Structure 1
């Protein structure tokens, strides 16, 4: 037996020192947890677009008008007999709300301009919080506000609370890791039929997850990351951790069936399947690094937290997993479940396992009908992607929340009493050239009020110094209406420049609605950079891994198709039809622009995982036989079961997002689960093999000059050097015949 590669040597070291390896992982967990508890940072996220008008307005208010920069909770009250008749009840309600911690001030709706609706039946009072980010408001205090509002209701008096801080408190848990793990356990048991074999991937993934989640607090010292980034990293860690070890457990069992002892089988597994795991993990990291091209701090933070989780999982796969095999390798098929008669593996020439007859039959069917299969695969993906052509970008607001939530009720009450624009007011932050220049402000207010699409403009409020003023503009249309976006651009491009040209005042258009518009436009400009960068880097990695131009180009094209199909599924669900109602989306909902970006980075990397799993086995067969058709057939048949199980696990993990009451998280869960399903079925099982059959030997071609430049990773490893003894010629003929059959 020849000396193994670096991963094989690491596996041998971990196997022989399994006790020390487990203790090192335990020590790493305790150290990470201790350091994070002592020095860990806090979550923070800035969703505004850098350099935008809304960002400048936000910074100006924070600097010169801090009283206007805190988060706001809107108290909406509707009284059947008119709000004036309920003045005492409203006063008592506001007084009690003012006692809740983090409530800095309470506005008086009876004296505030625009506080009472034209019909006198509805009022809005603003609670100004002392936090500038809704995520910084403790859930317990938000829930206390909701309890007070509920207690104040009576027949004829409706009370609801709106605002981002309330929405965060009502959105619930992002996802259930327990559901994902339970589903993964069931799938692994059905795949292996053995409790020990099924438990190895879960043990490895959970251990890696425990360490990476503990390290997140330390990562927050260097980057600002949103609180949902931990859920994304957790789901990714569970999914890919189980998938990677699933692949290696499958290969370990093959090597054991080939006659290797547990240690040799462990070394061989890491020297073959372990290479594929490293390349697959690297593609995920490359994809997540693409988020840095977006120039958005919250995306950089989410990328760092997720990449950290991927690195820890990769480390666990090549160190902790071999150590666990040191204890459980001899018993990998113990504790078998009564799942019926299972086919015993047959060892073929070269030490690989003869695939199941079902997968062989499928792969040969694709080979015979490769043209039809290729056309059908492309047609399915394009059909799924078609709804994305009509997608409407924007940020879902309280109007898209569930009807039973307080934020949705407040939204509906405001729209009914004040008009749809009341739910998406614009904030004008005016920096005056001369303190107290009320003439400039009066002219500005008059010009804005006369602009088509403006329902109301409040009188300006000056800061104590008098050099900054705030005006609130209520559009005539809702925050998700295209006409509101047109109004924002009209104010910036026409109305405000004309109204301020003589006064020297600098006026910025901000607020949540304007910030959403700016963020969408900013992401749309940068998205091509993300796509181009991730695709280019992934192609270089695949070129070095498989020494094939066709494989790299095909993988990039098909991954783009599968991502487009996922986008189409998301767009269809957001239409609010029967598909949307299945997951709790009842009304037409816009797609937040950052969701496609995040989905692309995650899904492109995960799609490459299955590509690596599949093509590495094909290349292994190609190197052994130099027969393209046989290599494709054996690769597809040999990985079909693994890819199917891995995809089922990943789908279950991402589907844990769907029950969340937050519409954005539902969309992420649906999109990612749909993409994995499409990629593992239509793309990997149909489109990839059919196209490779059409390309023939060109699959494995690369120019010599390019081959000299790129390193050779040998992702498929060299299985033949791990065979214990050369196979008996007569036995080889017999087994080769079994494979042919």
Structure 2
């Protein structure tokens, strides 16, 4: 992979105008497409296989005249202070407005409050229930505008009118959060690089990535139903990740320039080394997010695939557009007008960076640092034990919005349960007496303590399926309502035994309860899959058992502390005023499982970028502690900048009015804080110091089985700095591939290298072969072939006691293996 990325980096650098033109064409095409289609998003939740979804599907078939399963809205009317809606001009006005609602676009049915019993006892509040012919995602802007127009007429008549329900939920609009995140990222990048040019490139690629991802998702939503939060999560992840990936590559490019390499060679090596880590890190995030689709919930599938697509776009831009932009800047990116004297001193190798000083502080007392950090994260995770899950509804809408006002007005006039009535379905197709079965079901409901109202049964045209509306005494997100739904379902076996009819509970409240239950059940299996994936991927990268184990345990601590903090803030209400959270409420059901997927990907990012430099130093002979310090010397500053940028971008999304995005933004921000600074930059180096050489040991049998991923590009650097050839075409001149090598020479060597023979170690006595320019050319020439270099970390040296392979131990001097002919 490193060799391919090296070639790609040089190609993009060399053909920078072509690459830039292609990306501009892609962006232009997507932009035209985005403004040429009509996007549709959905805020509904469907959970196949649950009782509520089965009952919902049955209603669609048996009650087609009521458009069961269609979008719904509630138009709430409130009389002025001291007046009522039950008589006089106000009643006439409400009846007139209800008539206009019946004529509105896409409306299937409207329940008049005066005939449907939805007028409060004191006569001051009433609401009309509107059912649409289409689902949430198909409600048009015109249909919403018709309802808004009716509401405005009611306000002009002196009434207080608000609207709620699934049909009135529009797409999430962002703006301020992204701007804040980008501004903070610009400042951090300028401080990190000391150069506006270097700071601008990551921002430019991030903006290109966001435009590509969002426009693609918008176009896709015109043909398939996507959740309203899909584009927001893609924007959040794409912006943060694209900046970080570009940051790592630009930093490595500047390092290569600092070693005296020409810009094209520096771009190739930056992509072959840091680019390999970017590909691996991006792959882990994509796998974790795409894995959300296996849970079988549409919202998670949309969020996971949308976020994964944004990550793929960020990686592609970092590997193609970024090297092309580096080609336009050349060596100017290395100079910086804003570099401080300390930065210039560090570049000259004078003094120590803050990251190095921090690593020395941790290594001075690693056991104490480990104990304090682990204890702190465990304490932060304690609130997780009281986690309560629910799905967002109008109660979590932004304060002052018409949805929130409608919700609160209904709760004030009728009670909290009227915001989440239960639809009880009696399927009497297997019963001899359907009316009797429905009557017995209604009687069972009336005996339950938390039921405040039970409507008469409504039958389908064939008279064998009944629908009963039951209103709880508690709010839709209350635990009492959850218990009530369970109690109703417990009556099902008794009803079936007595009458032969089946009893099912559905409706928005029941669907939300079933969704939360399924997500809760899926959390730990999904977490197990993610942990197993982490172990396998890190085992391949670091060729160690203890390093992946440390990284995985650190990931678990990060997730636990993050979810604990989310519960404390959003459910308990701690720091709610400071963070702009209006009221405490249960955690959005999808948040924990989304957090597991995203935090896993981000944790692997920092693990790879930081620890690969430690491994690189160790296999070159550095002592374990010195390797840790060297890792911080090379990557600490960049990882810190990347973490600060991610925290800023994610925290900016806390300004979103949507409850899910607000909690996701907070959760991701604190997860990066915990994982980057507490786990990766404190716990990991402390554990590495305590383990010493054992951290890098690997059983010999496992070492032989594992492929060498070479994420840090060490084999590529070894080849380029010390190429060896076996056969060179006559008449060709093969030169070193160090600083200033021509692309043709490099390509020739890499072509030969990819067809090379296998050897276990580079033979010290073998020198580069040079052909003479005046040698007679043979009639048939072959490509130059090079003996393949050994896979670092897979030497055959073994520890006699542990039978493990230590990648830092060189092979015995003079050891050779015969080079066999590939034929």
- TM-score using structure 1 length: 0.90
Q: Deviations over 1:532-565 (max 9, x none)?
A: 1111112111111111111111111101111111
Q: Do 1:435 and 1:467's aligned partners in 2 also have CA atoms closer than 8 Å?
A: no
CA distances 1:15-41 after superposition (whole Å, capped 9, x unpaired): 222222222323444555667778998
User: Which residue pairs with 2:167 in the alignment?
Assistant: 165
Give 2:212's aligned residue: 211
Q: Retained in 2: the 8 A contact 1:435–1:466?
A: no
Cα deviation code 1:191-223 (max 9, x no counterpart) = 112111111112222233333334435766997
Count of aligned pairs between the two proteins:
715
Provide the secondary structure at the position in 2 that maps to 1:83. Answer: coil
Question: Any stretches of 5+ residues in structure 2 without a counterpart?
Answer: 722-736, 740-823
Distance 1:236 1:411 in 2: 32
CA distance in 2, matches of 1:88, 1:219: 46
Q: Per the alignment, in what secondary structure is the counterpart of residue 84 of structure 1?
A: coil
More helix per residue: 1
CA contact (8 A) 1:576 1:586 kept: no
Residues 224 and 297, structure 1, Cα contact 8 Å, conserved in 2 = no
Q: Residues of 2 paired with 1:725 and 1:399: CA distance?
A: 64
Secondary structure of 2:655 counterpart: coil
Match of 2:330 in 1: 329
CA displacement at 1:655 relative to structure 2: 1.8
Tell me, yes or no, if the aligned pair for 1:45 and 1:297 is still in contact at 8 Å: no
How much has 1:508 moved relative to structure 2? 1.8
Instruction: Tell me if the contact between 1:262 and 1:330 (Cα under 8 Å) persists in the aligned partners.
Output: yes
Mark the CA change 1:725 to 1:155 in structure 2 (over 3 Å): closer, same or farther. closer
Q: Report the 3-state secondary structure (helix = DSSP H, G, I; strand = E; otherwise coil) of the residue aligned with 1:430.
A: strand
Q: Which residue of 1 aligns with 2:315?
A: 314
| Equivalence for 1:541 | 537
2:447 pairs with 1:443: no
Indicate the residue corresponding to 2:617 in structure 1: 621
Equivalent position of 1:466 in the other structure: 463
Per-residue deviation, 1:683: 1.4
Equivalent residue number for residue 87 of structure 1: 91
Structure 1 partner of 2:23 = 25
Q: CA offsets per residue over residues 325-382 of structure 1, 9 Å max, x none?
A: 1111221135x4446435226679xxxx788433222211111011111111112211
How far the C-alpha of 1:443 sits from its partner, in A, is: 2.3
The structure 2 residue matched to 1:581, chosen from 565, 577, 583, is 577
The answer for the alignment partner of 1:667 in structure 2 is 663
Alignment-derived partner of residue 142 in structure 1: 144
Residue 76 of structure 2 aligns with which residue?
A: 76
- Residues 1:357 and 2:353 aligned together: yes
C-alpha separation between the residues in 1 aligned to 2:139 and 2:446? 35
Q: Could you say if the C-alpha distance between residues 118 and 547 of structure 1 is closer, same or farther in structure 2, counting changes exceeding 3 Å?
A: same
Pair 324,220 (structure 1): closer, same or farther in 2 beyond 3 Å: same
1:269 aligns with 2:245: no
1:693–1:245 distance in 2 versus 1, CA, 3 Å? same
Distance in 2 between the 1:645 and 1:482 partners? 43
Give the aligned partner of residue 364 of structure 2.
Answer: 368
| Counterpart residue number, 1:478 | 475
Matched, 1:49 2:41: no
Partner of 1:596: 592
Do 1:355 and 1:637's aligned partners in 2 also have CA atoms closer than 8 Å?
no
TM-superposed CA distance for 1:511, in Å, is 0.7
Aligned to 1:103: 107
How far apart are the structure 2 equivalents of 1:362 and 1:16?
Answer: 40
Q: Cα deviations across residues 120-139 of structure 1 (Å, max 9, x unaligned)?
A: 33322212222222x43345
Whether 1:115 and 2:118 are equivalent positions in the alignment is yes
Structure 1 pair 248–162 and aligned structure 2 pair: CA distance change class (3 A): same
Equivalents in 2 of 1:588, 1:435: separation in Å?
49
Provide the rounded CA distance (Å) in 2 between the counterparts of 1:332 and 1:722. Answer: 24
User: In structure 2, do the counterparts of structure 1 residues 227 and 167 end up closer, same or farther at CA, with 3 Å as the change threshold?
Assistant: closer
Conservation of the 8 A alpha-carbon contact between 2:595 and 2:668: yes
Q: Deviations over 1:432-467 (max 9, x none)?
A: 327993332222222222222211111122233433
> Contact 1:396–1:590 at 8 Å: present in 2 too?
no
User: Which segment is superposed worse, 583-592 or 339-348?
Assistant: 339-348
- Decide whether aligned partners of structure 1 residues 161 and 42 sit closer, same or farther in structure 2, where only a CA change above 3 A counts: closer
Is the 1:45–1:224 Cα contact (8 Å) retained in structure 2? no
> Aligned residue for 1:343?
343
Partner of 1:424: 420
Q: 1:510 to 1:654 in 2, by over 3 A?
A: same
CA distance in 2, matches of 1:343, 1:34: 44
Which of these residues, 86, 102, 127, is aligned with residue 124 of structure 1?
Answer: 127
Change (3 A) 1:575 1:308: closer
Task: Please state whether the residue corresponding to 1:286 is helix, strand or coil.
Answer: helix
Picking from 383, 386, 393, the partner of 2:389 is 393
Structure showing greater radius of gyration is 2
* Shift in alpha-carbon separation, 1:451–1:174, aligned structure 2, 3 A: farther
Please provide the CA RMSD for this pair: 2.8
Normalised TM-score (structure 2): 0.82
Q: Distance in 1 between matches of 2:225 and 2:155?
A: 40
Could you tell me how far apart the structure 2 residues matched to 1:214 and 1:624 are?
46
Taking the aligned partners of 1:210 and 1:408, their CA distance within structure 2 comes to: 32
CA distance in 1, matches of 2:376, 2:503: 50
TM-superposed CA distance for 1:610, in Å, is 0.7
**1:501 aligned counterpart, secondary structure:** helix
1:478 CA drift (Å)? 1.8
Task: State the alpha-carbon separation in 1 of the partners of residues 640 and 623 from structure 2.
Answer: 25
Question: Structure 1 residues 538 and 38 mapped into 2: Cα distance closer, same or farther (>3 Å)?
Answer: farther
Quickly say closer, same or farther: Cα 1:639–1:223, change in 2 above 3 A.
farther
1:232 match: 233
Verify the 8 A CA contact 1:33 1:214 in the aligned structure 2.
yes
Aligned pairs (5 A) from 1:50-69? 50-66=48-64, 67=66, 68-69=68-69
Contact 1:268 1:722 (8 Å CA) reproduced:
no
Q: 1:459 to 1:382 in 2, by over 3 A?
A: same
Alpha-carbon displacement from aligned partner over 1:555-588 (angstroms, at most 9, x marks no partner): 1110111111111111111135351122332322
Q: Deviations 1:254-284 (Å, cap 9, x if unpaired)?
A: 1111111111111111121111111111111
- Kindly state the Cα deviation for residue 672 of structure 1 after the two structures are TM-superposed: 0.5
Aligned-partner SS, 1:74? strand
1:708 equivalenced with 2:704 (yes/no): yes
2: CA distance between counterparts of 1:355 and 1:435?
90
Q: Which residue of 2 aligns with 1:16?
A: 14
Q: How does 1:177-192 map to 2 (within 5 A)?
A: 177-192=178-193
Q: Distance in 1 between matches of 2:205 and 2:410?
A: 51
Note closer, same or farther for the CA distance 1:204–1:355 as it changes in structure 2 (3 Å cut): farther
Superimposed CA distance per residue, residues 410-442 of structure 1 (whole angstroms, 9 cap, x where no aligned partner): 222222222221111100123332799333222
* Correspondence for 1:737: none
For the 8 Å contact 1:355–1:638, the answer to whether it is kept is no
- Work out the CA distance in 2 between the residues paired with 1:435 and 1:125: 36
Distance 1:456 1:637 in 2: 68
Cα deviation 1:81-131 (Å, max 9, x = unaligned): 33212311211232333444233332111111x322333333222122222
1:734 match: none
Q: Give yes or no for contact 1:219–1:305 (8 Å, CA) kept in 2.
A: no
